[in-house]
Structures are given as structure tokens and as C-alpha cells.
């Protein structure tokens, strides 16, 4: 049957087609042109804030991508794509917590704020959150100590170790202005200069080894006085550091000097009961100053091994049973690779995606298994602990950092702080991000490769993670992708090739009003060793033997016209940071 349309119906049809053309986007481009599709309208919808992020999302603000003032014409790949990536900008997985890019200060890296070169690096890095005063040192640190009176009278000079021997408590206090340490005042200045918020670990160990009549109350009062002194500058507080650990002050105490009947060895139940006392005192102090604070308690991050000691075996049950309601969030630490092992690059990189996923799953199971509502999760220390081949100071550690940051976002952590800003070279086993002055042939405060991978991650990853689908022609698991959008409209992806072969990845955006260009940076390692200490940014490398180009802030990205599918070369062991401009 022949269909006949009247003149008015033809007019309606033509007007409808014209309206559709206004919504043309680079969805399934054909020969560089974009077909009209009624489902191609850019219309993202933000999901609810996950409970595992919770109040850490309060610091979220929309981010604008700064279109480069200058760029360098890049060379899009011409070879057949080995992998194809489709990015659905309408499907928002999670709004990116701003507190996943954090770091840790410590008390033995010097008065960092007096070092303008280092401070410029930190301002550029923009960690957003910096933990203090340190890790295990927190449990022997007295924030209000002075040169004349560094610690309370009821804090003993010597503490019992896990093996029953004793060692000096040391002299760690907030008023120490010596050049080798880091004063409390300078910690606050560091936060101010880098536009970061703080996350503070109070001294829980004192509640265990204190020799007064009520050591728990004394330690809780000390923490509450810090909250008063802080006067609303800090929202996030931790009770102790890895308190389950045999390496921690307070793990084992001399019961002959204890006056409140505490057991010799720490347990999760003891710690949990003490957390409630700390929380009550600290919240009362916060109310006095009109501040809002959130208090975290420490959990063990994976199932205990059969050889783990008793405190770890039942740690989570004791903490959650006694402090599950009192804690606002839960804290975990993880150093990803096998302890004291000369791990391969393959083994290291595999943990970047596997560990955040397994930790998130386990901790959530522990919380719900205890009958508690889900709460935010913070990984306030993380890094790799491979040894023997300078893995920690290599570009592989940088690639691992990129994998880990994306995995934290994907697995909906609320906060994360890498360990740490500066430490000690230790023949390349240094977990510090900057050279503290003892690395051969490297300038003081020289940024290690991890700095560059984390710097460009923040620069080129937006404020929302969106769904992507990777189809692999080579089924080898080399490629990992994390895709995002900016509130200013641009969309991008981070492509990580952890394998030994080059790839070509085609990138297609769905529902995206594409502009005229896309931009990218390619980060690759040096060729001097399997764990080269050098990183190259768009071909530019370090002036010294290790690190990267110190002119990183002015290196121009590669660019190419956005006329259809993007095809980008992804060399072996590289990371590509790519953003497409909007219309």
C-alpha cells in the first residue's frame, strides 16, 4: 500500500528532524559524522552519596577543566585498535570524593613549611587532606608538650615492647621546633599553605601505658583538649594508629604500673570500650567550640591469617561490638604488596585494583555482620612495601598510585592518604614522595615518580566517575581504565597499560556534546632498569638521574582534532591521561 502524507504532516516531520539535529553527539560516529539518535541527549543523573563515603562528600565541589592555553599537535594512532573503550557520560557511578588524594606528614622529615621548593610542589600536588602527626609515632605523641615539659608526668619514660623488653618512649611533642622534626604549628601552616584539611590521629597508646589512677580518662582528656585548641579547624579525628599491632605503643603494658585493671595485651574489646570514652570527651569539647567533628575507629582490613596473634583474630568483633555505634567512620591501613618481598612489577601493579576492592568488600561485610548501619571508610595509610629493587622510588610505584586512586573512587572509599611525604632513602626502599636529602645524585626535595602520576591524575580526572566498557582484542588484562566528567562539561579517561606490549585503544563517548579537540599526557618510565627511578611526561624527563621533569606545570599536552572516534597509542607500562573538550 502506498503511504500518503499530507503537506501538514510533512511539515511536522521536517520540524521533528530539525529538532533532533540539535541533539547530535559523538555517539557511534560513522566516517567522522555523528548520526541522529534520540537517546543521545547529554543528561547525567547523580546517584545518592554512598554510605561508605558519607560526610567525606561534604567537601565535594564541581570541578572545571582548564582548557590548555597552549598545546602541541599530537599524533593520533593509525594502527588498528587492539582495544575499544566506550564511555557513557550519562551513567554517573559516583561523585569523586575530594579526600582520596591525601598524604601523610610525619615528625622526622623536618620543618617542611620552611622549604619553599617543597611547598611549591605540595601546592601543585594539592592533596586536599594531610594526616598528622604521623603513624605509630601518634601513640607516643603529646600535642601540647613543650621543651620544658614534653610529656605528662604519668607517661613513663620506658614502654614495654611486644616481647616483654622495654624501650624509651622518646621525645615526641607538638612544641618541638628543632629543625629535624615537625612542630604542631607547622602542621597547621602546611594545611593552610596547601589549601588542605587535616585528619588528626590522637594518642590512644597513652590510655594503655599511662600510670595514673585513670589512664583512659587522662588520654581522652588530652585528646579533648586538642579538639578545643584546634577550635574547629579539623573535622576528622582518629583514635590511635594500628592499635591491634604488636609494633604499637600500648599493645603490651606493664600491669604492675597500671592502676585500672587493664589486661597486659590489647584486644579489640578493650580498644572499643576506650573509643567510647574518647568519643564522649572529644564531642563534648567540640560542642564547647561550636565545631563539627567526626571520630574514626580502627578496623583490621582483611581476614586474619591463622598465624596472626589473638588481638587480631577477634579485633573487628570487639571494636564493632563496643564502639560500632560511637564511631562516625572506620579506618583501615594497607601496604598492598607482600611484606619485605622483592616483588615484581606485575605483582605490584595487580594489587592496585585488587586490594581496594577486597578491603572494601571485607570491611563492609564486617560492619553489616555486626548489625550496624554502613558508615564511611577511610584508608588513612597506603603504599607498597616491596623491597630490594628500588620499587618504592620507581615509576612502577607511580603507575601503582594511578591504579589505586581509580580503584578507591570505583570502590567508593570516603578518604585515603598515601604514606608519606618524605622519609629516608634506604637504598630505594623509601616510601616518601620526595627526596629528603639522602638520595644520591638527586636534589633536595626532588619529586619521586609517584608525584607525577598523582599530579596528572587530579589534573585530568573529573568530579564524577562514569561508566565505561572496555572490549579487549587482546585478552591479556593489560589495560585498566577510569573515566570521568567535569562539571564544566568535559569528559575524559585514564588508560593504564600494565603489560609488556603496546596497545592502541579507540575511545568513543556516548551522549557527549563533543568539542573540537581532545588533549592528553603520556607518562612512561625510564629504560635504565626494570624499576627505573625516572618518569617521562610527553617525552620530557628528569634533569637528574631520578624523578621527572621539574617543569611539569608548563609542559603542554598533546592535542588532536575531535572528529570521530579517538585512537590513542598506549605504550607498554604507561599511563595516558586524556580529556575531550565540550562543544
8 located within any domain: no
The fraction of the chain above a pLDDT of 70, given in percent, is: 93
pLDDT in the model for residue 218: 98
Is 153 found in the same domain as 74? no
Per-residue confidence band for 564, with pLDDT thresholds at 50, 70 and 90: confident
Indicate whether 16 belongs to any domain.
Answer: no
pLDDT exceeds cutoff 50 at 419: yes
- 8 Å CB contact between 548 and 537: yes
pTM (2 d.p.): 0.92
Residue 388 lies in a domain: yes
Q: Is the pLDDT of residue 583 over 70?
A: yes
Question: Based on the number of CB atoms within 10 Å of its own CB, is 333 exposed (0-12), middle (13-18) or buried (19 or more)?
Answer: buried
Pair 363, 480 in one domain = no
Do 90 and 149 share a domain, yes or no?
A: no
- Based on the domain organization, do 50 and 160 belong to the same domain? no
Question: Could you tell me which residue, 108 or 22, shows the higher pLDDT?
Answer: 108
Classify residue 19: in a domain, yes or no. no
- So what's the pLDDT on residue 33? 34
Is the confidence at residue 521, as pLDDT, over 60? yes
Residue 10: what pLDDT? Answer: 36
**Do the Cβ atoms of 557 and 538 come closer than 8 Å?**
yes
Residue ending a domain, choose from 460, 475, 499: 460
268 and 414 in a single domain? The answer is: yes
Give the CATH number of the domain where residue 516 resides.
Answer: 2.60.40.1180
User: Domain check: are 83 and 165 in the same one?
Assistant: no
- Report the C-alpha dihedral over residues 568, 570, 574, 576, rounded to 10 degrees: 20
Structural domain ending residue among the three candidates 411, 440, 460: 460
Does the pLDDT of residue 286 top 60, yes or no? Answer: yes
Q: Are residues 196 and 328 in the same domain?
A: yes
| Average pLDDT taken over every residue of the chain | 93
The total number of structural domains that make up the chain: 2
User: Looking at 431, 460, 489, which one is the last position of a domain?
Assistant: 460
pLDDT at position 474 is: 67
Residues 6+ apart with CB under 8 A from 109: 182, 420, 421, 422, 423, 432, 436
Of 24-38, 340-354, 356-370, the one with minimum mean pLDDT is 24-38
Please give the Cα distance from 404 to 396 (Å, whole number).
Answer: 12
Pairing of strands 503-510, 514-525: unpaired
> Are 242 and 374 in a shared domain?
yes
Same domain, yes or no: 343 and 440: yes
Same domain, yes or no: 454 and 468:
no
DSSP 508-519: EEES--EEEEEE
Residue 14: inside a domain: no
Closest CA to 437 of 449, 423, 451, 418: 423
Confirm whether 273 is domain-assigned: yes
- Are 296 and 419 part of one and the same domain? yes
- What average pLDDT does range 315-343 have in this prediction? 98
Residue 3 lies in a domain: no
Domain span at residue 576 reads: 27-96+463-582
Note whether residue 212 is domain-resident. Answer: yes
CATH number of domain containing 383: 3.20.20.80
Q: Are 215 and 255 part of one and the same domain?
A: yes
Chain mean position to CA 171? 30
> pLDDT at position 476, please?
80
pLDDT mean over 151-169: 98
SS3 567: strand
Amino acid at each position: 500500500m502506498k503511504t500518503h502524507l499530507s503537506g501538514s504532516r510533512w511539515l511536522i516531520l521536517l520540524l521533528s528532524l530539525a529538532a533532533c539535529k540539535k541533539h547530535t553527539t559523538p555517539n557511534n560516529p560513522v566516517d567522522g559524522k555523528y548520526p541522529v539518535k534520540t537517546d543521545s541527549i547529554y543528561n547525567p543523573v547523580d546517584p545518592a552519596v554512598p554510605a561508605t563515603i558519607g560526610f567525606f562528600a561534604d567537601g565535594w565541589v564541581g570541578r572545571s577543566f582548564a582548557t590548555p592555553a597552549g598545546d602541541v599537535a599530537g599524533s593520533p594512532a593509525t594502527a588498528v585498535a587492539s582495544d575499544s573503550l566506550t564511555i557513557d557520560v550519562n551513567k554517573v557511578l559516583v561523585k569523586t570524593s575530594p579526600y582520596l588524594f591525601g598524604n601523610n606528614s610525619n615528625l622526622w622529615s623536618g620543618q617542611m613549611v620552611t622549604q619553599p621548593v617543597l611547598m611549591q610542589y605540595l601546592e601543585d600536588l594539592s592533596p586536599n587532606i594531610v594526616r598528622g602527626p604521623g603513624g605509630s609515632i601518634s601513640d607516643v605523641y603529646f600535642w601540647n608538650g613543650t621543651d620544658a615539659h614534653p610529656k605528662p608526668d604519668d607517661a613513663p619514660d620506658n614502654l614495654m615492647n611486644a616481647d616483654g623488653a622495654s624501650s624509651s618512649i622518646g621525645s615526641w611533642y607538638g612544641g618541638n621546633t628543632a629543625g629535624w622534626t615537625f612542630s604542631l604549628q607547622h602542621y597547621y601552616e602546611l594545611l593552610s599553605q596547601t589549601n588542605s584539611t587535616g585528619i588528626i590521629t590522637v594518642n590512644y597508646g597513652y590510655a594503655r601505658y599511662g600510670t595514673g589512677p585513670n589512664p583512659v580518662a587522662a588520654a581522652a582528656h588530652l585528646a579533648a583538649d586538642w579538639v578545643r585548641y584546634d577550635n574547629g579547624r579539623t573535622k576528622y579525628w582518629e583514635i590511635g594508629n594500628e592499635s591491634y599491632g604488636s609494633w604499637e605503643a600500648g599493645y603490651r603494658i606493664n600491669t604492675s604500673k597500671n592502676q585500672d585493671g587493664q589486661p597486659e595485651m590489647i584486644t579489640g574489646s578493650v580498644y572499643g570500650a576506650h573509643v567510647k570514652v574518647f568519643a564522649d570527651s572529644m564531642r563534648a569539647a567540640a560542642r564547647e567550640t561550636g565545631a563539627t567533628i567526626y571520630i574514626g575507629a580502627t578496623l583490621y582490613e582483611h581476614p586474619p591469617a591463622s598465624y596472626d596473634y589473638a588481638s587480631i583474630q577477634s579485633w573487628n568483633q570487639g571494636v564493632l561490638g563496643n564502639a560500632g555505634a560511637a564511631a562516625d567512620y572506620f579506618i583501615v591501613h594497607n601496604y598492598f604488596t607482600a611484606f619485605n618481598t622483592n616483588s615484581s612489577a606485575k605483582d605490584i601493579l595487580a594489587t592496585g585494583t585488587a586490594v581496594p576492592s577486597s578491603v572494601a568488600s571485607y570491611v563492609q561485610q564486617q560492619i553489616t555482620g555486626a548489625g550496624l548501619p554502613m558508615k564511611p571508610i577511610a584508608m588513612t595509610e597506603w603504599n607498597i612495601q616491596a623491597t630490594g629493587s628500588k620499587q618504592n622510588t620507581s615509576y612502577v610505584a607511580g603507575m601503582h598510585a594511578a591504579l589505586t586512586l581509580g580503584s578507591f573512587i570505583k570502590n567508593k572509599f570516603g578518604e585515603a592518604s598515601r604514606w608519606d611525604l618524605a622519609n629516608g632513602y634506604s637504598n630505594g626502599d623509601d616510601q616518601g614522595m620526595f627526596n629528603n636529602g639522602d638520595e644520591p645524585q638527586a636534589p633536595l626535595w626532588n619529586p619521586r615518580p609517584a608525584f607525577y602520576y598523582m599530579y596528572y591524575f587530579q589534573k585530568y580526572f573529573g568530579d564524577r566517575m562514569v561508566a565505561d566498557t572496555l572490549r579487549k582484542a587482546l585478552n591479556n588484562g593489560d589495560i585498566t581504565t577510569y573515566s570521568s566528567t567535569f562539571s564544566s562539561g568535559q569528559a575524559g579517561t585514564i588508560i593504564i597499560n600494565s603489560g609488556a606490549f603496546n596497545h592502541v585503544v579507540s575511545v568513543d563517548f556516548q551522549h557527549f556534546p563533543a568539542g573540537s579537540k581532545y588533549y592528553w599526557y603520556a607518562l612512561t618510565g625510564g629504560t635504565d632498569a626494570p624499576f627505573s627511578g625516572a618518569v617521562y611526561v610527553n617525552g620530557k624527563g628528569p634533569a637528574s638521574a631520578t624523578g621527572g621533569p621539574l617543569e611539569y606545570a608548563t609542559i603542554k599536552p598533546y592535542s588532536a582534532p575531535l572528529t570521530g572516534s579517538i585512537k590513542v597509542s598506549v605504550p607498554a607500562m604507561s599511563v595516558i591521561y586524556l580529556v575531550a573538550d565540550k562543544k
